[in-house]
């Protein structure tokens, strides 16, 4: 992993393992520690990730859900 230089840009990839999740909405918090200081003088950031877990029987292409 290469460091991100001051003024530069970077990318964070987040993967959610949904195998043990029930179908429906989920909410996850990702904590990032950095040496970049926020105006409050903190070096921690929190990303909030939301999404939807759908089981096979509830996938949008399923005619039972779409009402076909």
pLDDT of residue 61: 52
For residues 66 and 50, what is the distance between their CA atoms, to the nearest angstrom? 23
For residues 45 and 51, what is the distance between their CA atoms, to the nearest angstrom? 20
Bridge partners (DSSP) listed for residue 32:
45
Token reading at 1: 């992993």
The pLDDT averaged over each successive group of 10 residues in the chain (68 residues) is 80 83 86 75 82 70 50
pTM as predicted: 0.51
Q: Is 44 helix (H, G, I), strand (E, B) or coil?
A: strand
pLDDT of residue 29: 92
pLDDT of residue 64: 53
């Amino acid at each position: 992993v290469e460091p991100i230089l001051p003024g530069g840009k970077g990318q964070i990839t987040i993967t959610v393992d949904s195998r043990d999740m029930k179908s429906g909405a989920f909410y996850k918090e990702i904590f990032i520690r950095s040496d970049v200081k926020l105006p409050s003088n903190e070096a921690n950031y929190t990303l909030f990730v939301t999404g939807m877990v759908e089981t096979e029987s509830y996938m949008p292409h399923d005619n039972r859900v779409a009402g076909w």
